[in-house]
Amino acid sequence: MSGSGHHRNGELQARVNALLALAEERGIVTRAQIDERIEALGSSVSPLNGALMVVRSWNDPAYRDRLLYDAGAAATELGIAGGGYSSDIHLHAVANTAEVHNVVVCTLCSCYPLAWLGPPPAWYKSEAYRSRVVRDPRGVLAEFGTVLPDDVEVRVWDASAEARYLVVPRPPEGVEQLSEDEQLDLVTRDCLIGVAVPRVPVH
């Protein structure tokens, strides 16, 4: 990191510390409460949340219908909270099929379903991904190792301040022979964003 980067980070941290001190002084919140909230958030946001929803949809067609109709309600059904998001932010599930492959981006900034996918990867927030996946989604997917047949339509979903998206990948061949825990291992964060697809390991 450059010296200017360190300087900017130092200024930002100083501002955060000043705001925290002011909040404590006015009795709004304590540092202990903030630390507790950060710890709780860190333990509750994970790609496992999205994977649980996907695997349930693979094994329960009725749940899949509910997930695609109202993903937020389907998440709540499994006890997966919204990570403190306001009611104005809606989670949408988009399902991959034999004819359509979905991929998620936020072209303006880096809006991302943190509560359901865990912390965003650095590449998701990069300008390169945000601009290129819209112009050349097949090329970007190929760089992740996801090469799609020419007759598969690629749909790019642009997240916003009001909408977050979760990709429901197709169950891979042979998945029915695996336990639920083994199925969960197949559904990675990248699968939930749409740049990868789950695959059953060959033994």
Catalytic residue among 46, 57, 111, 191: 111
HEC letters along the chain: CCHHHHHHHHHHHHHHHHHHHHHHHCCCCCHHHHHHHHHHHHHHCCHHHHHHHHHHHHHCHHHHHHHHHCHHHHHHHCCCCCCCCCCCCEEEEEECCCCEEEEEECCCCCCCCHHHHCCCCHHHHCHHHHHHHHHCHHHHHHHCCCCCCCCCEEEEEECCCCEEEEEECCCCCCHHHCCHHHHHHHCCHHHHHCCCCCCCCCC
Q: Residue 153 — φ and ψ, nearest 5°?
A: -75, 135
Cα 42–Cα 44–Cα 47 angle in degrees, nearest 5 = 95
Q: How many CB atoms lie within 10 A of CB 51?
A: 24
Q: Is 191 a catalytic residue?
A: no
Q: Is 126 a catalytic residue?
A: no
Catalytic residue among 87, 109, 160, 191: 109
Catalytic residue among 44, 86, 87, 106: 106
Q: Are 93 and 24 in contact, with CB atoms under 8 Å apart?
A: no
Q: Is 110 a catalytic residue?
A: yes
Catalytic residue among 2, 4, 43, 110: 110
- Catalytic machinery residues: 106, 109-111
